[in-house]
Amino acid sequence: MTSILRIETSIKGEASVSRKLTDRIVARLTDATPGARVTVRDLSAGVPQIDGAWIGAVYTPAEARTADQDRIAAYSDALLDEVKAADVLVIALPVYNFGLPAQLKSWIDHLARKGETFRYTEKGPEGLLTGKRAIVALSSDGTKMGSEIDFASGYLRHMLGFFGIADVEFIAADRMVFDPEATLKAAEAEVDRLAA
């Protein structure tokens, strides 16, 4: 059975363009794969930032953790387990101030764990989450995807690749401020052409 992990990050709720696109992407995938299991992780309310307590928790063996370390590690482990279990990640990427939303960056920070999502070899880093596909719904008011002021899409593609996820597709509703209706319509048409 195909497992889809949907990551929501927009703070705009139902008005979110990236959420409209992830709705459509997930519908496209589930229509093509009846029985697919969808897990939703909505990060819009925020994600705890990693800190010294987090490092102490996740890199301490489970049997040696304190109660506080257990609590910290449990949240981070849940995020990691969702990604490991997924065949396809559908990620909402609204561009805020030319970059990723803070909550998406914090989610990535929780996932970036040596020995879990990557390892270092004599040939350099090696991603451990291979065989997965990611579809990213990028939305922005004025930032064109791939332009010199887009610090979001390249970073996300790099980090997914660093984790071993090389099959990454972007659906972009960028520069919405200039022609929102036509831009959204074009992005929706891209979704409809996605290989499921």
Please report, in range form, the residues annotated as the binding site. 10, 16-18
Q: How far apart are CA 132 and CA 121, in angstroms?
A: 21
pLDDT tens digit sequence for 33-61: 999 999 999 999 999 999 999 999 999 99
Q: Hunting for tokens 């109660």 — which residue is that?
A: 67
pLDDT tens digit sequence for 10-39: 999 989 999 999 999 999 999 999 999 999
Q: How many domains does the chain have?
A: 1
Structural domain of 30: 3-47+86-192
pLDDT tens digit sequence for 163-175: 999 999 999 999 9
- 60 domain residue, yes or no: no
Please report, in range form, the residues annotated as the binding site for FMN. 10, 16-18
- 79 domain residue, yes or no: no
The reported pTM is 0.96
- 27 domain residue, yes or no: yes
Q: What is the 3-state secondary structure (H, E, C) of 1-17?
A: CCEEEEEECCCCHHHCH
CATH number at residue 158: 3.40.50.360
